Amino acid sequence: MSECISMPSIDRSSAQWFTAAAAIFRKDWQSELRTRYAISALIMFVVSTIAIVIFAIGSESIPSDVLTGMLWVIIFFSSMSGLSRTFVAEEERGTVLTLQLLASPSVVLGGKLAFNFVLVLSLNIFAVALYSLLVSEFLIVTLSIFWITILLGSMGLAAAATIIAAIIAKANTKGTLFPVLSLPILLPLLVVVINATRLAGEGAPFEDAVREFQFLIAYIVVVVTVSQLLFDYIWTD
Amino acid sequence: MKARIVLGVWISVVMLLAFSLPMVTEIRQWFELPVIPGLEQKARILFFHVPTAWLSTIAFIASMGYGIKYLKSRRHEDDIRSETAAAIGFLFCILATVTGAIWARFSWGTFWNWDPRQTSIFVLLLIYGAYFSLRSAVGDEEKRATLAAVYSIIAAVIMPFFMFIMPRVLASLHPQPVLNTEGTTAMNTTMLMLLLASFAGFTALSFWLWNIQVRIQRLEAHHRAISFGDQHRG
């Protein structure tokens, strides 16, 4: 069991690790483009939640910190609809064994993590664009804080969602379990990104959000490290 | 048998004292408890609420510890211990939430106001809930044990982030915990002794509950194995 947790050592094998992870990433990307399951689910979810938010607001004027919080509600639930796909699809297609033979667990996790990150980042950019187009009261003053929050928030979201997706792919009720397991893990992240986005909306100087960014980076490092250590137990039957 | 009676008498005496010792502003006798400003008689919940909150965390750590042990040993016994510790932790977590909410109703005027303490116990409840939904969603025994252990480790690693971030976002009205950073406490020795006695009693009680539950589960697993064998012999 222990030799399976092969962390990439530095020098030559590190380059090999990246090439292998990139191959996993490319494979996922190609099969995603073939079916467009995750992408269309994510887009539809973003569009419909934003529509519901707009219907709920009606002609009321909503304070901007509520609107920034609402943006993350949209992002959280949209990600919950598509991010579990990477691992669930492997189980459904029965390709888990092939992947286990071809790549080490840490490479698989690396590739899937990269794929989910790209997916969630593009989803977030799309959601922000649509949200600021349709909700006119949504204003961001300090753009630097806002975009760094989106970037780090996407990374953290992808990191936590990937390991939880790996867990739920082995369970019987995959769909409902994903948000249930993810929420307690993602809650500290959500609290911080909502706070940082509020700062960006209020036009706080960049220095005010440094603590938030430190927290987000710490969160990402911890979640990715723990995922790498534990993934082997989930992945290999 | 004898230990059980001792435990019963111990907790009864502690609870009796907790609700009957007089609270006075100027302490003259050894059995008198101090009046803590702002809490007064409501401070008596301390002897029940604090041990339950403490045990809900300890049980979670114990559950994670046995989870790690399971991942190493792959013995079903360790999974039984881990699950049972989580079940008892969940029970105490509910008790701590409910007693805390009742206390908040009379101290803060509302059952729930998203105080950082309430938020963190709410998250602990969510984690316990997620842990048990995960367990019920996995059919295979070994897979269930592994996934539950992995999930409890991830959750335990995330928990410290709450301790760090919550006070920054929200200010707390919760009375200072017993083990606070300043090392200050408004309690006198009698009150502290009584609280420690309550801690000891509840810890022993939960250990006893855990022990019974582990033995029941072990017998059930054994019984399943035997009846499975009978069926297959025809």
Say if the Cβ atoms of B151 and A192 lie within 8 Å. Answer: no
Say if the Cβ atoms of B126 and A183 lie within 8 Å. Answer: yes
Report which of B72, B78, B67 is spatially closest to residue B148, judged by C-alpha positions.
B67
Say if the Cβ atoms of A167 and B137 lie within 8 Å. Answer: no
**pLDDT by residue for chain B (234 residues), tens digit each?**
788 899 999 999 988 888 888 777 777 777 777 777 667 777 788 888 889 988 998 999 999 999 999 999 999 999 999 999 999 999 999 999 999 999 888 888 888 888 878 888 888 899 999 999 999 998 888 999 999 999 999 998 888 887 667 666 666 667 765 545 444 566 777 888 888 899 999 999 999 999 999 999 999 988 988 888 777 765
Q: What are the chain B neighbours of A180 within 8 Å (beta carbons)?
A: 129-130, 133
**Interface residue A2 vs chain B (CB under 8 A):** no
How far does CA A126 lie from the centroid of its chain? 14
CB-based contact B178:B195 (threshold 8 Å)? yes
**Interface residue B7 vs chain A (CB under 8 A):** no
DSSP B121-132: HHHHHHHHHHHH
DSSP A120-157: HHHHHHHHHHHHHHH-TT---S-HHHHHHHHHHHHHHH
> Which pTM was predicted?
0.86
DSSP B23-80: EESS--STTPEEPPTTTGGGGGGHHHHHHHHHHHHHHHHHHHHHHHHHHHH--HHHHH
d(CA A211, CA A207): 8
**Interface residue B101 vs chain A (CB under 8 A):** no
**Interface residue A181 vs chain B (CB under 8 A):** yes
Say if the Cβ atoms of B161 and A219 lie within 8 Å. Answer: yes
Token duo for residue A167: 């867990």
**Interface residue B138 vs chain A (CB under 8 A):** yes
Q: What are the chain A neighbours of B164 within 8 Å (beta carbons)?
A: 215
Residue from the list A164, A167, A195 with its beta carbon closest to the beta carbon of B169? A195
Long-range contacts of residues A211-218, Cβ cutoff 8 Å, at least 24 apart? A211/B168, A212/A149, A213/A148, A213/A149, A213/A152, A215/B161, A215/B164, A215/B165, A216/A149, A216/A152, A216/A153, A216/A155, A216/A156, A216/A189, A216/A192, A217/A152, A218/B161
